[in-house]
């Protein structure tokens, strides 16, 4: 209980540590800069003296690094103002004190190094995630603006496609990095959340908060949903989005319960983990809807309006029925009209799009292999029902018949010539 | 002969007089404090700066500024020394910055600079390019004022 009490001010300090510089007014007195630096040094000194675990030591080490980084610009002032030490000596003293503390509490160097590496990785990943988030915001805006101008200018299509490709890549990259970061954070503790002490949980909570983990997860899903709302997505985009959504879901299923345990005391954050669940569901639905909508548009825009469909089974049935009617010629149309319609289908739908959609749909689990093969066979059947038989085929059949007749005649003749034993 | 003797004596006198009056100047000298100090007076009105070992009584200063040298418990002053060795003093609710020079076991007022009609809210003194920069931390829209012993050098009303 005491430990828990002790850790609260520490946690408060940890969380506020990064934000202090943000709250500083534009006009700052040199005294305020010096006082703030001295206060942080004092706080870190207290943390060092109270450190109990390797994780704490790593965090403190990171704090010293951050303190150095954020005050580097003020080095000249601090060198003069700090007394009797200067800026560098103050940091050297802090690091020395930490090393002594580590030895006192028996932190093994290799363990410290491993956690330190993970922490550095976390910091690096957090930086990349932030920068990707900024880029993605800009790309999403650009994609929306270009989508609007696509209708007016066809030149915008190329730019839009480029933006979409870049955005897709960025979104994918950020998704991966978020979970890599989460992985690095949990790896530092090397144990299951259930077996963690309250202090460790609080520390982990602070770390997750500092790196905006939950916010980034939510943002990532929302951005992916927004991405789906841009037009001009190709079958490959949908396949990729579907794969990405499944991968994200899998990762979330692994980390979500752990996060929920960490956020158990924070109602707001706890409820946010359920928001992630529903956002993931929306994302999945949007991928699904977008896929079928885009496929339906492909048919209707090219003069083949199909009955509406919203699943692989429905799509297979609707398309098969449509082709069956074409084959049976239920409208009793002349041969040339039927033939023209098939060649339109081949030129506008099958060759440029549907051929690549089918394997993509199988890959994303929206169609089975059997359904794909069935559709392909049906299309081949349609083709043969409207394509007149070539004269070459007639010649070949005639030749085969002639050969067959000659063979039979010769066979019969040879039977007649055979002498009887009687 | 006495004439030459007289002239020689006068010359010798003048020479010895000039040697006795010659001063040695060590320059350049830098008296600047890197950062201001915030000092609270004790019950007798004394403030003490421990790093540079300066102490003095601020009651006369508070009387000059507020016409009150009795209620000093809540008062504090901000003190900085410039490159030339002058002490600049101000504080919360001060309308002036006081510039003092070092005298015989005392500080002698050199200049009283009016910097705010209403009184400063959260003043701070910084060392900036051989001048003393006065800022109001709660009033970031107000441009800094740069001061020297002669008065306002940049910003504010000269």
A77:B34 CB<8 A: yes
Give Rg (Cα) of chain A.
35
Mean pLDDT over all residues of chain A?
A: 83
Tell me what pLDDT residue B10 has. Answer: 58
DSSP B129-157: TTEEEEEETT-TTSPPEEEETTEEEESS-
The packing angle between helices A213-229 and A198-210, to 10°, is 40
**The two structure tokens encoding residue A391:** 């004269």
Tell me what pLDDT residue A184 has. Answer: 85
B49, B79, B92, B126: which to substitute to probe chain A, counting the most A Cβ within 10 Å?
B126
How do residues B24-54 score in pLDDT, each as one tens digit?
A: 999 899 999 999 999 999 999 999 998 899 9
B36:A30 CB<8 A: yes
Question: Rounded to the nearest 10 degrees, how much is the dihedral formed by the CA atoms of B18, B19, B23, B24?
Answer: 150
Q: Which residues have CB under 8 Å from A233's CB, separation 6+?
A: A164, A241, A290, A294
**CB A129 within 8 Å of CB A177:** yes
A27:B140 CB<8 A: yes
**The two structure tokens encoding residue A296:** 């339906």
Contacts of A86 in chain B (CB under 8 A): none
CB-neighbour burial class of residue A259 (10 A; exposed 0-12, middle 13-18, buried 19+): buried
Contacts of B127 in chain A (CB under 8 A): 30
How do residues A254-263 score in pLDDT, each as one tens digit?
A: 888 888 888 8
B126:A27 CB<8 A: no
If you measure CA to CA, which chain A residue comes closest to B124?
A29
Mean pLDDT over all residues of chain B?
A: 87
B35, B53, B123, B134: which to substitute to probe chain A, counting the most A Cβ within 10 Å?
B35
Q: Which residues have CB under 8 Å from A123's CB, separation 6+?
A: A62
Contacts of A26 in chain B (CB under 8 A): 140
How do residues A145-178 score in pLDDT, each as one tens digit?
A: 887 776 667 677 778 888 888 888 888 888 889 8
What letter would DSSP give residue B118? S
**CB A167 within 8 Å of CB A229:** no
Cα–Cα distance, A224 to A132 (Å, whole number): 13
Q: Categorise residue B67: left if φ over 0, alpha if ψ from -120 to 50, beta otherwise.
A: left
Q: Which residues have CB under 8 Å from A114's CB, separation 6+?
A: none
How do residues A341-368 score in pLDDT, each as one tens digit?
A: 899 999 988 988 888 888 888 887 889 9
Q: Residue A294's closest CA among A356, A368, A343?
A: A356
ipTM of this predicted structure: 0.80
**CB A180 within 8 Å of CB A125:** yes
Contacts of A25 in chain B (CB under 8 A): 137, 140
**CB B109 within 8 Å of CB B100:** yes
Helix or strand holding residue A22 (H, E) = helix A20-23
Q: Which residues have CB under 8 Å from A102's CB, separation 6+?
A: A51, A54, A57, A112
Q: Which residue is it, tokens 């940091």?
A: A91
pTM beyond 0.80: the answer is no
Q: Residue A388's closest CA among A311, A336, A320?
A: A336
Biggest alpha carbon–alpha carbon distance for chain B: 82
Q: Which residues have CB under 8 Å from A286's CB, separation 6+?
A: A225, A228, A229
How do residues B114-158 score in pLDDT, each as one tens digit?
A: 999 999 999 999 999 899 999 998 877 788 999 999 999 987 655
Highest mean pLDDT pick, A14-28, A46-60, A84-98, A259-273: A84-98
Strand order across the beta sheet in which B77-81 lies:
B37-39, B77-81, B87-90, B96-103, B106-114
**CB B132 within 8 Å of CB B88:** yes
Q: Which residues pair with B37 in a beta bridge?
A: B79
How do residues A225-259 score in pLDDT, each as one tens digit?
A: 888 877 667 777 787 888 888 889 988 998 888 88
Question: Rounded to the nearest 10 degrees, how much is the dihedral formed by the CA atoms of A226, A230, A236, A240?
Answer: 0
For residue B81, give the 3-state DSSP assignment.
strand
Confidence of residue A20 (pLDDT cuts 50, 70, 90): very low
Q: Which of A25, A34, A77 sits opposite B137 (nearest CB)?
A: A25
Tell me what pLDDT residue A112 has. Answer: 79
The interface residues of chain A toward chain B in range 355-414, judged by CB-CB distance below 8 A, are none
How do residues A367-395 score in pLDDT, each as one tens digit?
A: 999 999 999 999 999 988 877 656 676 78
Confidence of residue A12 (pLDDT cuts 50, 70, 90): very low
Confidence of residue A8 (pLDDT cuts 50, 70, 90): very low
What does residue B10 show for φ and ψ, rounded to 5 degrees? -65, -45
B137:A34 CB<8 A: no
pLDDT at A23 over 60: no
Q: Categorise residue B157: left if φ over 0, alpha if ψ from -120 to 50, beta otherwise.
A: beta
Q: Residue A78's closest CA among A66, A69, A90?
A: A90
> How far is B17 from chain A, CA to nearest CA, in Å?
44
If one counts every other C-beta atom within 10 angstroms of the C-beta of residue A247, the result is 14
Tally C-beta pairs within 8 A across A and B. Answer: 38
If you measure CA to CA, which chain A residue comes closest to B144?
A27
A26, A30, A33, A77: which to substitute to probe chain B, counting the most B Cβ within 10 Å?
A30
CB-neighbour burial class of residue A107 (10 A; exposed 0-12, middle 13-18, buried 19+): buried
Cα–Cα distance, A173 to B104 (Å, whole number): 72
Cα–Cα distance, A55 to A63 (Å, whole number): 12
Cα–Cα distance, A220 to A218 (Å, whole number): 5
Contacts of B136 in chain A (CB under 8 A): 27
Q: Which of A26, A77, A80 sits opposite B140 (nearest CB)?
A: A26
Confidence of residue B104 (pLDDT cuts 50, 70, 90): very high
Tell me what pLDDT residue A24 has. Answer: 42
Tell me what pLDDT residue A164 has. Answer: 84
Which ranges constitute the DSSP H helices of B49-129? 59-66
Q: For CA atoms A194, A199, A200, A206, give the dihedral sign.
A: positive
Would you give the distance in Å from CA A357 to the centre of its chain?
Answer: 21
> How far is B23 from chain A, CA to nearest CA, in Å?
32
Q: In B, what residues contact A, Cβ < 8 A? A: 34-38, 51, 78, 124-127, 135-137, 139-140, 144
Tell me what pLDDT residue B46 has. Answer: 96
**CB B55 within 8 Å of CB B47:** yes
Q: Which residues have CB under 8 Å from A368's CB, separation 6+?
A: A312, A362
B78:A31 CB<8 A: yes
Q: Which of B51, B78, B139 sits opposite A83 (nearest CB)?
A: B51
How do residues A294-347 score in pLDDT, each as one tens digit?
A: 888 888 888 888 888 989 999 999 999 999 988 887 777 788 888 888 999 999
Tell me what pLDDT residue B153 has. Answer: 92
Would you give the distance in Å from CA A26 to the centre of its chain?
Answer: 39
pLDDT at A16 over 50: no
């Amino acid at each position: 209980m005491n430990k828990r009490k002790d850790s609260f001010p520490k946690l408060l300090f940890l969380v506020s540590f990064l934000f202090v510089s943000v709250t500083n007014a534009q006009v700052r007195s040199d005294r305020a800069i010096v006082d703030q630096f001295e206060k942080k040094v004092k706080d870190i000194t207290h943390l060092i003296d109270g450190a109990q675990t390797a994780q704490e030591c790593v965090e403190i080490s990171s704090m010293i690094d951050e303190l150095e980084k954020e005050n580097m610009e003020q080095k000249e002032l601090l060198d003069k103002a700090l007394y009797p030490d200067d800026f560098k000596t103050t940091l050297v003293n802090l690091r020395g004190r930490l090393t002594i503390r580590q030895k006192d509490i028996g932190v093994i160097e290799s363990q410290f190094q491993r956690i330190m590496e993970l922490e550095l990785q976390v910091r690096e990943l957090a930086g990349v995630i932030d920068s990707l988030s900024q880029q993605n915001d800009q790309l999403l805006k650009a994609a929306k603006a270009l989508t609007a101008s696509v209708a007016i200018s066809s030149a915008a299509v190329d730019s839009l496609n480029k933006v979409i490709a870049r955005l897709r890549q960025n979104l994918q990259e950020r998704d991966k990095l978020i979970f890599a970061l989460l992985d690095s954070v949990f790896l530092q503790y090397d144990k299951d959340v259930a077996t963690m002490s309250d202090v460790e949980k609080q520390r982990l909570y602070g770390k997750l908060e500092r790196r905006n983990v939950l916010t980034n997860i939510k943002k990532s899903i929302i951005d992916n949903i927004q991405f789906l709302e841009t037009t001009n997505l190709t079958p490959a985009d949908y396949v990729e989005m579907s794969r990405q959504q499944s991968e994200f879901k899998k990762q979330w299923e692994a980390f979500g319960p752990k996060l929920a345990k960490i956020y158990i005391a924070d109602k707001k954050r706890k409820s946010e983990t359920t928001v992630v669940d529903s956002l993931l569901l929306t994302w999945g639905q949007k991928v699904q809807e977008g896929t079928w909508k885009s496929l339906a548009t492909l048919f209707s825009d090219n003069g083949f309006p199909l009955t509406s469909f919203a699943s692989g089974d429905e799509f297979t049935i609707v398309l098969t029925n449509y082709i069956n009617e074409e084959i049976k010629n239920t409208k009793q149309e002349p041969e040339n009209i039927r033939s023209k319609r098939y060649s339109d289908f081949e030129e506008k739908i099958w060759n440029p799009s549907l051929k690549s959609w089918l394997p993509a749909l199988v890959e994303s689990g929206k169609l089975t292999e059997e359904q794909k093969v069935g559709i392909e066979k049906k299309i081949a059947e349609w083709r043969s029902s409207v394509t007149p038989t070539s004269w070459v085929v007639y010649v070949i059949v005639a030749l085969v018949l002639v050969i067959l007749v000659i063979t039979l005649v010769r066979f019969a003749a040879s039977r007649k010539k055979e002498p009887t034993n009687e | 002969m006495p004439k030459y003797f007289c002239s020689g004596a006068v010359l010798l006198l003048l020479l010895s007089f000039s040697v006795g009056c010659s001063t040695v100047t060590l320059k350049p000298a830098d008296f600047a404090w890197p950062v201001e100090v915030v000092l609270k007076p004790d019950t007798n009105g004394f403030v003490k700066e421990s790093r540079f070992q300066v102490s003095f009584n601020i009651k006369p200063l508070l009387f000059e500024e507020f016409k009150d040298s009795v209620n000093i418990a809540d008062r504090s002053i901000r003190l900085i020394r410039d490159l030339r060795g002058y002490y600049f003093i101000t504080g919360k609710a001060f309308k002036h910055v006081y510039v003092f020079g070092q005298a015989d076991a005392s500080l002698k007022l050199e200049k009283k600079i009016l910097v705010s009609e209403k009184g400063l809210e959260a003043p701070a003194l910084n060392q900036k390019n051989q001048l003393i920069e006065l800022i109001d931390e709660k009033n970031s829209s107000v441009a800094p004022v740069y001061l020297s012993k002669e008065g306002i050098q940049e910003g504010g009303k000269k």
